Chains A and B, each alone.
Chain A
Amino acid sequence: MESHQLKPIYEAIGQGDMRRGLTECDNLLRKHSTHQGALALKAYVLAKLGDAEEATALGQQVLHTPGALKSSHVLQGLWLTFRVLRLPELEIAVYNTALAHTPNSEQLYCKIFMAAARFNLYKEQHAAAVALNKLFKQDKYLWWVVTSLLMQARSSQDSAVKQLQLTLAERMAEKALGEGRLTNTEELRIYLEVLEIQGNHTAMIAALSTSGPLAEKIANDPDLVTQRIGLLIRTGDYTKACAAAVAALESRDNWADYKLYVEATVAQASGGESPVQAATANFDKWAAQRGRDRGAKLAGVELAIKLHEAGRAKPAGEVADVVGERIWSYVDQFMTKAICYSDIMQYFVTHVKSATALGQTSSAVDFHSKQLEQRLHNARAAATAAKCSEDAAQSWVSLERIRYLIQALADDVDPQRWVAGIGTMLSFGLDSTEAERKLAACSDMTLIACQRLILGAFLAYPEPEQRGLLLSSLFKVVCVLEAGIRMNDDQFLLKLYAIRLYLYLSCYDRARALYDTLNIKNIQLDTLGFLINGHGMSLGCFSTDLELCYDGVSFYDRADARVPQELESAYGNGTYSNITDFTTFRDNLVHSVQRECTHRCALRGETFEYGTSKDVVDQWKEADAVSIEHTDETIAALHDNRDVAVMGLLTPVDMAKWNLEIMTRQMPLPGPAWIKIFSMVPQIMHYIVCSEAELLEARARDLLAVTEEAGQSVSSHDLLLARGVYQVATLYLRARSGDEGFDNELSALAEMIIGALPPDTSALNSLDLHDVALSSIRTASVATELFTLALSVKHALSAQRSSSANAVALGLSQIRKTALKLVGGMRAWTEKPARESIDALWLNAEEPLLASAMTLLLNRRKSAVTLATKSCVGSWLKSVNNMAAHWKKCT
C-alpha cells in the first residue's frame, strides 16, 4: 500500500524531476498529512532542490516521530536527505534510531561506519566497527576496528588517549598476525602505521620479516621491501640494511633502494673501506646490466657525494675532484637522455654548496666550468653539423642546461654572459632542419634560450627608469616563444612562459587562449589555476575569469562529494593503505589556498556580473559573507597545492634569486593577506546592504589594518582596491548617518576612481606604452571594480530611504561621465597608436640584449613577431572594451 502511494514520487525522483517530486509529495500529503514516507521523501526532494533549512527541519521532524523508521521508505528517504545535506551526525542518528526496530542489523551498522568514515567522525566509526566485529566476527570488521583506532589516534590531541588507542590497535593487529588473520599487505600496512607512530621500529622489522604466505607478498611489494631497508638503517643495523638492499637491487632497479644502500654504506664506512668497495663493485656490476646503467651509475655519484659530505672520502685533498669526476662521468654517459639534467642537477648543487661551506666556491665552479667548456664546444659542433643525430641534439641541450646552472651557482650577474650564444641556440631551435623535424631537443633549446633571455633582461634592467628596456626585452622574448610554439605546439613549457610574459605585459586575452590550449582541468584547476585565475579580474576581463572560477568551484564541489565516497570504497575493498592518503588528500583540497582564491575571485566576478543591477542589494544580502571570514588559525590551516615548480626551472626552487617563476610574476601569488582582504570585501558589502553599521565599521577597520600590514605580499593594484573599498565603506557610514561630511568622502572616492583611470588623452594625444603594459589597464580595472561596488552603496542608501541617496547617486553619475570619457580615450589609443608604439618603443628599441634573437626572428620568423604584436594590442583592446562596456552598464 505504502509503496503504491509513493510510486509517483519515486518515479519523479528517478527521472531527476525534483519539482514534480515535490508536487507529488504535496499531493499525497494533502490526503494523508502525516504520511511519514511522503514527509521523508519531501525532505529529500527539498534537499536536492537546495532548500537546506526546510529539508533539515522536516527531516528532523520525521526522525523524531516515534515508530516512523520502521518503514524502509522512511529510512531511505531520511538517510538520503541527510547525506545530500552533508549532515553525518543526523544521518547516523537515522541509522541508530532504525536499529531500535531492527537490532543487530549488519547493514545498519555498516552504514553508520561508512557515514562516520566519510566525515572523519572516528569515535562513531570505531563504535560501529566494534559492534560489527563483536556481532559478526569477520576479519574485515577486525581491520575496521584497527583502522578506526589508528585514525582516532592520528587526530587525537590528548597524548594519553592517543597512546591508549594505538596500544589497542597494536594488540589487535599483533594478535591477528599471530592467528594468521593478517593475510595481505593492505592489512600489514595499517599495522606498520600503528607501529610507526609509536616509533616501534623493531616490531615493524619483525612484521616485515614474517614467514608464510605473507612473506611472498611482502617480497613482491617494492614499497614494503624499501620500508624494511629503511627500518634496518633506523635501528642501526647497517650490515643487514646493506644485505637487504643488495638483495632487493639484484632483482629490480629501484632508486629508493639505491639511496638507502648508499646511506647504509656511508654509515658503515667509518668501520673501514670494504663496504664502500663492495657497494662500488655492485654498482659497477649492475651498471653493466641492460637497462640498469642509469640508476647504478647515479648511485655511484650519490655514494661519492654522501661520503664527501660525511667527511669519509679519502684522500681528503682530492675529494672535490673525485666527486666532480663522478658527476661528469655520469653526464658523459647520459647526456643523450633528456632526464640527464634533472638526475644530476642536485649533485652539482650539493657539490658546489659543500665547497662553499669550505670557502672554495670558485674552485668547484671553475672545475665544473672547465669540464663543461670543451664538452659544450664539441656538442654544439656536433649538433649544428649537417645530419645531426637526436643524441647529438640532446647532448647539447643537456650541456646547455648545465651551463645555465653553473652560471647561477657562480652567482654570475652579468647579463651579457647570460645571453652569450643565444643566436646559435635559437638558430638550432627555430631555424634548422632538426627544428623542421620537430625534434624535442629543438623546442628544449628554444626554451633554454628564452629562460636565458628573461634572466638576462631582469639582470640588465633592474631599475624603474629602465622599465621600457625591460618591457621591450620581455616582448621580444614573447616573440621568440610564439615562434617556438608555432614550431612545436606540444612543448607546454613554452606556453607556460608565454602565459607568464603576456600577463606581465597586461595581455590577458592571449594568455588565456594559450592557457586554454593546455586543457587544464579537474585537479589541475587546484594546482595550475593560479597561472591565470584572478588575472582577468585585474585586467578588465571579468566574465571570462568568472567562467574559470566557476569551473574551479564546480571541481571543488565535486571533490567534496566524491572523495568521501572513495574513502568508503577503500574500506569496502579493504585497501586500507589508501585511508590515510585519501584523508590527507581531502584535507589538502578542503584547505587549499587556491580553493580560497577561486571562491574569492568568483565573488569578485559576480560583483561585475550583478553589480550594475538594482538587484545587487538582494544579492549582497543573500551572500553568505560571514562564513568566509578568516582568522589567523584558519589561514594557518591552509595548504598550498599550487605547482610553482611546473615551469621547468633550471635551478633549484629554493635558489630564489634565479627562480624564473618568481621573477616573472607581475603580481605576488595570492597568500594570507590577499585572502583576508578579499574575504573582507564581500563582508563589507554585505554589512552595507544590511545596514549593519557597527559590524561594517569594525570590518572596514580590519581591512585597513590588513592592507597596511600587507606590504609587498599583495600587489599595489589590489592594495589600491582595498583602500578604495575602505573609502566606499566610509562613504556609506557617513551618508547613512546624514553626516554632512559625506560630500568629502564622495569626493575622496571620486578622486581615487578617476585617479586610477588613465589621463585625458585628448590633451596628451597619446598614452605611454609602458604605463599601459605595466599599470594603466590594471588601475583602470581597479577603478571599474571600485565604482561597481560604490553603486551598491547608492542602491543600499536608496533602499534604506536615506536622505543622502540622491546626492550619492548624482556624485556617482558624474564620476561615470568622466570615466566613460577617459576609458574612451584609452580605447582610441589601443585601437591605433598602440601598435605603432610597440613598433617604435619595443621592436625598434636600442636594446642590445636581444639583438641577435630579433635579427633571426625578423628575417626568418616574422609571423611570430606579427602574432605577438597583434596579441598584445588585441588583448589590451579586449580588456579596455570590456571595461568600457561595463561603465556603460553602470547607470
Chain B
Amino acid sequence: MDMFRFNNINLDRYTETYDLSFYLTYLSSWPDLYIVAESADSSLMGYLMGKVEGKEELWHGHVTALTVAPECRRLGLGRGLMDVLEVASEKTYDCYFVDLFVRPSNLVAIQMYENLGYTLYRQVIDYYVTDGVMPTEYANDMRKALARDVDRKSIVPVKHPVKVEDTFFD
C-alpha cells in the first residue's frame, strides 16, 4: 500500500494513522490480508488490514483496520473488503471466526458490521485511549462465526466488560 497517498482516507477522524512499523509489520506478515481498493483515477478508496491469530478454537481472523474514504462510502466497498478477509480467514486459514474492535460512538461502522452479520461479543474497557483529538472510549468487540465453528460457540456474548489485557490471544 502506498502510505504516501492515503491522506484522503486517513484524515477522517475515525481513521488512525499508526506508526510506520505497524503497517510494515502487517505487510510483511500477512500481505494477503492487507487489501487495498483503488478508484478509476488511481487514488485510494479504502483499505483493510487484517491478521490471523489465536490457538485452537480461538484461531481467528482479525480486522485491525477497515476504512473507506468519505467520498467512497455508500458503494459497498467496506462489504467487499470484509468479504475478502472473511473468505481468506475461512478458506485459506481455516479460522473459527472473525473479530474486530470498533468505537461505540462510530454508529455508522457498527451498523455496517451488523448488516454483515457481526454481533457484539463483549466490551473492552478503555480500549481506545485519547490522543487529544478522539476521546478515551470502550471498544465493542464484534464477532462473526465462520463455517468451522459449527456450534457458533465463538460468538456467545460475554456479559461483563473485560480489560484490554484479557483480549490478547498469543
Contacts and interface: CB of A to CB of B under 8 A. Distances in A.
Contact of A255 (B31, B39, B74): B39
B131 A565 contact: no
Contact of A562 (B3, B20, B29, B41): B20
Contacts of A440: 70
Contact of A342 (B17, B24, B32, B71): B71
A517 B132 CA distance: 9
Interface string A481-493: 0000000011010
Report, as a range, how many residues of chain A touch the other chain.
Answer: 35 or more
A294 B133 contact: no
Contact of B31 (A256, A526, A566, A577): A577
Given A527-B4, A563-B20, A646-B7, A343 B25 contact: no
Given A519-B13, A563-B20, A578 B40 contact: no
A577 B19 CA distance: 21
A578 B20 CA distance: 14
A518 B11 contact: yes
Contact of A338 (B32, B73, B80): B73
A570 B41 contact: no
B4 A588 contact: yes
A513 to B, nearest CB: 12
Contacts of A253: 80
A646 B3 contact: no
B98 to A, nearest CB: 18
A339 B21 contact: no
B71 A339 contact: yes
Interface in B7-35: 7-8, 10-13, 17-21, 24-25, 27-29, 31-32
Interface residues of B, number: 39
Interface string A316-345: 000000000000000000000111001101
A338 B28 contact: no
A343 B40 contact: yes
A522 B8 contact: no
B65 interface: no
Interface in B45-75: 45, 70-75
B29 A573 contact: yes
A492 B12 CA distance: 7
Interface in B108-146: 131-134
A585 interface: yes
Contacts of B12: 490, 492
Nearest to B39: A342
Nearest to B88: A220
A848 B140 CA distance: 53
Contacts of B39: 255, 339, 342-343
Nearest to B22: A522
B38 interface: yes
Given A523-B4, A566-B21, A646-B7, A343 B29 contact: no
Given A339-B71, A524-B17, A563 B24 contact: yes
Contacts of A342: 39-41, 43, 71
A527 B7 contact: yes
A744 interface: no
A518 B11 CA distance: 7
A522 B18 contact: yes
A575 B25 CA distance: 11
Contact of B75 (A294, A524, A558, A578): A294
A298 interface: yes
A298 B4 contact: no
A558 B21 CA distance: 9
A492 B24 contact: no
Contact of B17 (A339, A346, A523): A523
A641 B40 contact: no
24 contacts: A298-B40, A338-B70, A338-B71, A338-B73, A342-B39, A342-B41, A342-B43, A343-B41, A517-B133, A519-B13, A522-B20, A523-B17, A523-B20, A524-B17, A527-B5, A555-B20, A562-B24, A563-B24, A566-B27, A575-B29, A577-B31, A578-B28, A645-B5, A645-B43
Given A339-B72, A566-B27, 12 more contacts: A337-B74, A489-B13, A490-B70, A518-B11, A519-B132, A522-B18, A522-B19, A562-B20, A562-B24, A563-B20, A566-B25, A575-B31
Interface of B: 3-5, 7-8, 10-13, 17-21, 24-25, 27-29, 31-32, 38-41, 43, 45, 70-76, 80, 131-134
Closest 5 CB pairs of A and B: A566-B24, A338-B71, A562-B21, A492-B11, A570-B28
Interface of A: 186, 221, 253, 255-256, 291, 294, 298, 302, 337-339, 342-343, 345-346, 440, 489-490, 492, 516-524, 526-528, 555, 558-559, 562-563, 565-566, 569-570, 573, 575, 577-578, 581-582, 585, 588, 641, 643, 645-646, 648
